[in-house]
Amino acid sequence: MAAGTNPSRYLRSIGAHATIERDSFTDGGHILSIGGAEQSHVNLEHPEEVFYEYLRRIAHVVDLCAPDAQPIRALHLGAGALTLARYIQAVRPGSRQHAVELVRELLDFVLQHLPLPEGTLLETWTGDAREALKQLDPELRFDVVILDIFSGPEAPEHIANAGFYREAAARLAPHGVLVINVGDEPGLTLVRSQVSAMRSVMADVVAFGEAGMFSGRYPGNIILAGTQFPWPSEWSGELTARGPHPAKVLSGVELDILAG
């Protein structure tokens, strides 16, 4: 991106402008905003450095789903600025990834002004996340499926339910992990409903985030992770240790406090 410029594009399908600005606090950092609200942060010089807290937590799950540096298959439902796709390529070169974004203009805008790391093997799809699952090769399975499109009461009903999670889980390899970012309001109504929905489909489910979020008094993000095998207890320890701090992981009976 040329020095001194802040690219902007009007996204007709949602009636808002997308802009990309340099981050004055991070060398190589850029911020994608939509309608004036920050959406994504990308570090072009160091894509292995993830700035947003909730995305770092998801990145830590990706770190655990396969041995270090081993290429994986990843599916991103909700592309944004492709921060996690860039991260996976940086720490697991040769990974094969797919990304789905509802707004084609946004995807084109991001790829034009924030190029992907050299060698990235990424296939992009435009459209609804649930419909995109049906369009993928039926034999394709993923080590991690990441859903990042939820935000409080505005969460799309056709995706925020057990039926969708069942379809997403069918795309996982036996050792694969389904990771959901849930942005919610005080009371955590959406988080509670999604914990129950995931539990009805997955063999095991955990929730993790900033420790204070579990009080239900603040708006913010909680990450849900589902597996088709018993959640390894050592993974909870790893996630807590890696932060960002203070971090908390709820699993097993502890997770009952978030059951809908």
pLDDT tens for 238-259 read 999 999 999 999 999 999 988 7
Tokens for 94, please give them.
Answer: 């040769």
Residue 23 lies in a domain: no
CA-wise closest residue to 30 among 57, 15, 52, 59: 52
Asked which of 2-11, 52-61, 138-147, 167-176 is least confident by mean pLDDT, the reply is 2-11
Residue 75 in domain:
yes
Query: In the sheet where 37-43 sits, what is the strand order?
Result: 8-11, 16-22, 29-34, 37-43
Q: Is residue 24 part of a domain?
A: no
Domain contains 109: yes
> What residue has token string 């789903």?
65
Distance separating alpha carbons of residues 246 and 161, to the nearest angstrom: 30
CA proximity to 34, closest of 80, 73, 72, 102: 80
- C-alpha–C-alpha distance, residues 134 and 136, integer Å: 6
Strands 29-34 and 37-43, by their bridges, are antiparallel
∠ CA 222-223-226 to the nearest 5 degrees? Answer: 140
Lowest mean pLDDT among 18-32, 63-77, 139-153, 157-171: 139-153
- Between 189-199 and 162-169, two packed helices, what is the crossing angle to 10 degrees? 50
- Give CA–CA dist 145/45, Å, rounded: 26
Q: What is the pLDDT of residues 92-119, one digit of tens each?
A: 999 999 999 988 899 999 999 999 999 9
In a domain, residue 210? The reply is: yes
Beta strands in the chain (DSSP E): 8-11, 16-22, 29-34, 37-43, 73-77, 96-101, 121-126, 142-151, 172-184, 204-210, 220-227, 247-251
pLDDT tens-digit readout, 208-223? 999 999 999 999 999 9
Question: What is the C-alpha to C-alpha distance for residues 241 and 74, in angstroms, rounded to an integer?
Answer: 24
Q: What is the CATH number of the domain that holds 79?
A: 3.40.50.150
- Using an 8 Å Cβ cutoff, are 143 and 66 in contact? yes
Mean pLDDT of 40-61: 96
For 148, the token pair is 């990042």
| For the chain, percent of residues with pLDDT exceeding 70 | 98
Q: Is residue 29 part of a domain?
A: no
pLDDT at residue 77 in the model: 95
Residue 70 located in a structural domain:
yes
DSSP, res 159? T
Tokens (6 digits) for 196: 């129950």
Q: Is 182 contained in some domain?
A: yes
Q: Which domain holds residue 126?
A: 48-258
> What residues have CB less than 8 Å from 121, skipping those under 6 apart?
89, 94, 95, 96, 97
Count of structural domains, the chain: 1
